[in-house]
Structure 1
Amino acid sequence: VSKERGETESVNHTLLAKYRTSTIAVKAAADAVQIHGAQGIGAEASVQRHYRDAKVMEIIEGTTQIQQTMLGQFAVRAARL
């Protein structure tokens, strides 16, 4: 509803939330795989599935690099006001 009304701040907050949660999820899952070592990448290990799922969240609905660019543009616009 906020987006339909042209409230770009709420859109940017949503973008920031998606960016932060997806990058944190990948970091946590990668750490879990690292802790488990070679066993963490085996087909029977749940941590490897969590890592794959988290990585997908970084890619769908715009990659994290695109989100970084958009958030940077938002910050520059906000600084000019």
Structure 2
Amino acid sequence: GRNVALRHNAAQTSTYRELTIDATASKAVDGNTSGIFTDNTCSHTNDSSPSWNVTFDHAQVLNRIFLYNRIESSKC
């Protein structure tokens, strides 16, 4: 299948920032599935009860959802 979320508007309840890390919601829909948090490739919040969403231009039928988690971080 194709990535229907690619480069769409994404939002999250807060954004984690530290030195070279700016873990914005858009990182989750940029097509990079690396998962290396310290390379600034992941979205992340500062919330203890976070939420994240993506907004599509029109209705989408989703048969599968793939989530790629980070694979390393001192924040895990």
TM-score range, shorter chain: under 0.3
Q: TM-score scaled to structure 2, two decimals?
A: 0.23
Question: Which is richer in strand?
Answer: 2
Q: Highest CA radius of gyration, 1 or 2?
A: 1
Q: TM-score scaled to structure 1, two decimals?
A: 0.22
- Structure with the bigger RCO (C-alpha within 8 Å, sep 6+) is 2
